[in-house]
Structure 1
Amino acid sequence: MTETAQAGMFRPLTENPFLRLATVFIFYIFEGVPMGLFYIAIPAFMASGGSSTTEIAAVVGAFALPWTLKLVNGFIMDRYTFLPMGRRRIWIIGSQLTMALTMLIASLFNPEATQTAVLSAIAFCVSMATTFQDVSIDSLVVDIMDEDEQAKAGGIMFGAQTLGISGSAAACGYLLQHYGSAPTFLAVAAFLLAGVVFAISLRERPEERRFPWSQGQSHPRNLDIQIEAWWPLLKTSFFAMLAKSSLVIVPFLLMRSIPAAIYDIFNPVLATKYVGYSTSAYTGIASLSALATGLFGLFIGGWLVAKVGKGRILAINFSLLAILLIGVALIPEYWSNPAVLYALVWGIDLFGIMIAIAMIPLAMQVCSPSVAATQFTIYMALGNFGRPIGASIVAATSSLDPQLMFGTIGAIMIAAALSTLLLKRGEVTPEQEQATHHGVGAAPAEN
């Protein structure tokens, strides 16, 4: 055995099933930290400082924007990498390090709650780095996990991400209220640096290098499937996306995260201006909800989706979201009641995570083997388009009448629930699942 194979604490990911799932769990927690900061803690910080919904929407939109561009990240990662360190690990290390350094630099600016432009710039920069980390982990899942593990990974992804959001929202909400933005950003940077250390300790496959200057070599499987030209990558991805089963799931990906915009933008206003809660009180509610729903998704969500069926889970949870939002729209006189806030926080969290868990295996099943990582990334990018779309709806309608906001997004959820009937036509057969298998033993791509 070579020195490279002997070095380090862990066996290569392809030889350690537990470590594969643990890696997804750990990095999705790290991914959730900036999300908890900029989707929950910073909006509450701004709302308590007197910012309007339009100003909060600007910061949330700046953080959400890079997530709509993830499809570009996927193409770049599939086209360019450093194979002696594995297909994805160089990107994992680089993006995690960039996340930490961005937060470190942000702490030097020490922005106030009313400095919308500065907060927006910080949000955009850290989000851009986070999307590259997200795509690199998603691509790793598609690259090295078999079909059974991918189903487990769906629940782990959103469960761990929600745990990261929960912990970040609670800790950052407290730090922002009592110490301000600089110590908060510095604490986040220190935590994210731990992810860099963990990424360095990993290897994807045997004989690969841990550092660029270490001994080791590219794995033959990676050399076989690496596409070294843009045209084959673009052409194969284009036709894979136009497949019938692919087109069927796209609308659900677009609609799934639209209600999250209410959570991001209006809920902090509801908490601080209608109910009268402080920043830390609201982030405490949101983090507890995120923690509970994250654990639910992690331990029960995947099993429930397998038991009930992906289509039924989507229909049920889209319907429940519609009932919740339209119900809140009809009772504006009760918006000062904390029960309404709790219902929105817990409902959007729980129903949203179940929709997300059901969508993950659907998206993986229809990926073409030769461009599976890029195609899956495109699906995830499409899913994140819903958040800025929702933010635009919230910004446009809440200033006119918040009831209109709830009613509009509730109507979209009704349309999504009814559209699940189309999934029967796009159902993936066992034969198709076998043909699109893209785990450890995936067939080489045609160049």
Structure 2
Amino acid sequence: MASTAARGATSGLILTRSPLLRIVTLLVFYFTQGFPIGLFVYAIPAWMAANGADTTQVAAVVGMASLPWSLKLVNGFIIDRYTFLPMGRRRVWIIGAQSLLVLALLAGALIAPLPLDVAVLSALAFCANVAVTFQDVGIDSLAVDIMPEDERAKAGGIMGGAQLLGMSASMAGGGWLLELSGITGCLAVGAVIPAAVMLFGVMLREREGERRLPWTAGRAHPHNLAVQVEAWWPLLKASFKAMVVPLSLCLIPILLVRSLHAGAFESFHPVMFQERAGWSATDYSSFSSIQSLISGVFAMIVGGPLVARIGAQRALIFALAGGAAVILAMALLPHLWSETWFLMTTQVTLDLFAMVYFVCGITLSMRMCDLKVAATQFTVFMALGNFGRPLGASLAAATAGAGHPVLMYLLLAGLWGAMVVLMLLVRFPHENRTQHVVAQDLPQGEGPPPRVN
């Protein structure tokens, strides 16, 4: 009986044994991350507005949906500090967060709030996105833990693309279901795929010998026992030491600049497209949705493999130089801002360069993470990338908002160009060295387990 249980704990869906399983896991969990964003930031606010909600009421729901993402930094410390090692370092958090997402959507379906029930909709938006932010940090840190170097660029493409595809699916499907069957049908159907992904997560193991569930057979893997930090002070100290390494400090401005243009364009382009090119609000939102879909597919099919083939450092230099050229063209050719072909071409081209930038940023961030504090450190890196968005919005307000849009484009092009110079001067590592350090400390060392006849 004990022998059967032991064999069961070393067989089945084990992430460290299968490259395909690792990629599929990232794909499905990142796809479901897009669901609450698409529903509570886009589809449900549009449904509220169409049924009489004013800007303040819609903004309350969108704000509560966005708030957990601003607080995501705390999640990394919690996930690094507390876990249940017999189920792996990250999986208990991933399954728990996915379960909370499903429960939040089902609770919304049962409550069936009306379009003007702002408090209820805000609470649902907050809970669903809290769940997804914990799932996001858990799956990110799992990728850092188990992804070998040759898979990390592909992983970055999956991360960027799958979430965008999930957002597109939930925006389109959510809007259609809200019209067809109301919010009950929308949220009930919206819970089905996250529930299926949750069950998929239950079937997995991070490493051999671990438990699928707390009450099943299995034990903590020696690798996880070697890297787990069991007290707050060592965790905080290790996190600080990991972030002040010179190469980590060099990575910070690269991550900050990544989303500057997004914040600036989101603030200025809706106005510019309508005033200069005569687009309607519907035209702009439809184009943005299609653009997100194109970017998501590009990241998964082209971006990840491209970065893996030519290397993250070279790919990032290429993306930065190309993006700087596109932004500079927008600054130097303001007489073409009224031409739809020019606006669409520059937007789509820059977005593709930005997706390569995103994939490279994830790859470099993974390499710089200390495995002991991977959830915390990787979350800090990603938070820095997201922080560029509000900075970009402030830049747009100070330049384009004051009547100087050309200056906005020139500053953005200059910052992207400065990052090219930085990337030419700094050499980032080609792999995560702490993985090898930890592996060599284990009795077995690196590589697959020895076969026992």
- Work out whether the TM-score is over 0.5: yes
Change over 3 Å in CA distance of 1:82–1:362 after alignment to 2: same
Q: 1:63: how far off?
A: 3.0
Selected match of 2:33 from 13, 31, 34: 31
Partner of 1:311: 316
What letter matches 1:303 in structure 2?
P
Post-superposition offset of 1:424: 3.0
Alpha-carbon contact 1:205-1:219 (below 8 Å) kept: yes
Secondary structure (helix, strand or coil) at the match of 2:205 reads: coil
Contact 2:321 2:416 survives alignment (8 Å): no
The alpha-carbon distance between structure 1 residues 348 and 423, as it changes in their structure 2 partners (threshold 3 A), is closer
2:449 aligned residue: none
Cα displacement (A) at 1:325: 6.5
* One-letter code aligned to 1:27: F
What is the DSSP-based 3-state SS (H/G/I as helix, E as strand, rest coil) of the residue aligned with 2:427?
A: coil
Question: C-alpha displacement at 1:352, in angstroms?
Answer: 3.1
Instruction: Return closer, same or farther for 1:254/1:288 CA change in 2, 3 Å cut-off.
Output: same
**Displacement after TM superposition at 1:397 (Å):** 7.1
In the TM superposition, residue 295 of structure 1 has moved relative to its aligned partner by 1.9
Does the CA contact (< 8 Å) of 2:80 and 2:372 recur in 1?
no
In 1, Cα distance between equivalents of 2:24 and 2:403: 43
- Offset at 1:95? 0.5
- Structure 1's 200 and 165: CA in aligned 2 closer, same or farther, altered over 3 A? same
Q: Bigger CA drift: 418-427 or 156-165?
A: 418-427
- Specify whether residues 265 and 177 from structure 1 end up closer, same or farther in structure 2 by C-alpha distance, changes over 3 A only: farther
Q: SS of the counterpart of 2:439? A: coil
2:438 corresponds to 1:435: no
**Secondary structure, in 3 states, of the residue corresponding to 2:13?**
coil
User: Is 36-45 or 72-81 further displaced after alignment?
Assistant: 36-45
**Greater relative contact order, per chain length (Cα 8 Å cut-off, separation 6+):** 1
How many angstroms does 1:351 deviate by? 3.6
Q: Tell me, in whole angstroms, the C-alpha distance in 2 between the residues paired with 1:247 and 1:439.
A: 22
Looking at structure 2, the residues matched to 369 and 24 of structure 1 have their Cα atoms a distance apart, in angstroms, of: 18
Shift of 1:370: 3.3
- What aligned pairs does 1:78-117 form with structure 2 within 5 A after superposition? 78-107=80-109, 108-112=111-115
Could you tell me which runs of 5 or more consecutive residues in structure 2 were left unpaired when the two chains were aligned.
Answer: 443-453
Contact 1:64/1:384, CA 8 A, preserved across alignment: no
Q: Displacement, 1:5? A: 4.2
1:140: Cα distance to partner? Answer: 0.7
Alpha-carbon contact 2:257-2:415 (below 8 Å) kept: no
| Aligned residue identity for 1:134 | D
The answer to whether the 8 Å contact 1:12/1:205 transfers is yes
Which of 288, 296, 299 aligns to 1:297? It is 299
Q: Does 1:423 align with 2:423?
A: yes
Q: Secondary structure at the match of 1:441?
A: helix
> What amino acid maps onto 1:441 in structure 2?
A
Query: What residue identity is the alignment partner of 2:310?
Result: K
2: CA distance, partners of 1:327 / 1:105:
52
Q: Extract unaligned runs of 5+ from structure 1.
A: none
The corresponding residue for 2:215 is 213
What corresponds to 1:141 in structure 2?
A: 143
Q: What does residue 239 of structure 1 align with?
A: 241
Q: Give 1:77 deviation, angstroms.
A: 0.8
Matched-pair contact (CA < 8 Å) for 2:113–2:120: no
For residues 440 and 70 of structure 2, what CA distance do their matches in structure 1 show? 28
The 2-side partners of 1:51 and 1:269 are apart by 23
Shift of 1:322: 2.9
Superposed displacement of residue 420, structure 1: 3.0
SS in 2 for 1:217: coil
The 1:301/1:438 distance shift into structure 2, 3 A limit, reads farther
Query: Residue 322 of structure 1 contacts residue 414 of structure 1 at CA under 8 Å; is this kept in 2?
Result: no
For residues 66-109 of structure 1, the C-alpha deviation after alignment (integer angstroms, 9 at most, x for no partner) is: 22332221111111001111111110111111112222233425
Tell me, in whole angstroms, the C-alpha distance in 1 between the residues paired with 2:390 and 2:363.
24
Q: Is residue 2:374 matched to residue 1:372?
A: yes
In 2: Cα distance, 1:297 partner to 1:121 partner: 33
Structure 1 pair 165/240, CA: closer, same or farther in 2 (3 Å)?
Answer: same
Match of 1:356 in 2: 358
The Cα shift of 1:211 comes to 1.2
CA contact (8 A) 2:164 2:292 kept: yes
User: Which stretch has the larger CA shift, 78-87 or 287-296?
Assistant: 287-296
State the distance in 2 between where 1:129 and 1:25 align. 18
Amino acid at match of 1:248: C
Map of 1:226 onto structure 2: 228
Cα distance change, pair 328–93 in 1 and its aligned pair in 2 (3 A): farther
**Residue 356 of structure 1, CA deviation:** 0.7
CA contact (8 A) 1:254 1:382 kept: yes
Distance 1:16 1:321, change over 3 A: same
CA distance in structure 2 between the partners assigned to 1:403 and 1:116 by the alignment: 36
Report the more deviating stretch, 10-19 or 64-73.
64-73
Distance, in Å, in 2 between the alignment partners of 1:118 and 1:390 is 32
The range that moved more, 204-213 or 85-94, is 204-213
1:83–1:361 Cα change, 3 Å:
same
Q: Which has the greater radius of gyration?
A: 2
Q: Matched residues in 2 for 1:440 and 1:181: separation? A: 49
Query: Per-residue displacement from partner, 1:400-439 (whole Å, max 9, x unpaired)?
Result: 9597689647734542332331123332245xx3634469
Q: Which moved more, 1:360-369 or 1:171-180?
A: 171-180
**Contact 2:328/2:409 (CA < 8 Å) preserved in 1?**
no
Query: C-alpha deviations, 1:27-75, integer Å up to 9, x for none?
Result: 1111122233344434554666677777766554443332233222111
Task: Report how far residue 153 of structure 1 moved.
Answer: 1.1
Q: CA deviation at 1:136?
A: 0.6
- What percent of counterpart residues are identical? 43
Match of 1:386 in 2: 388
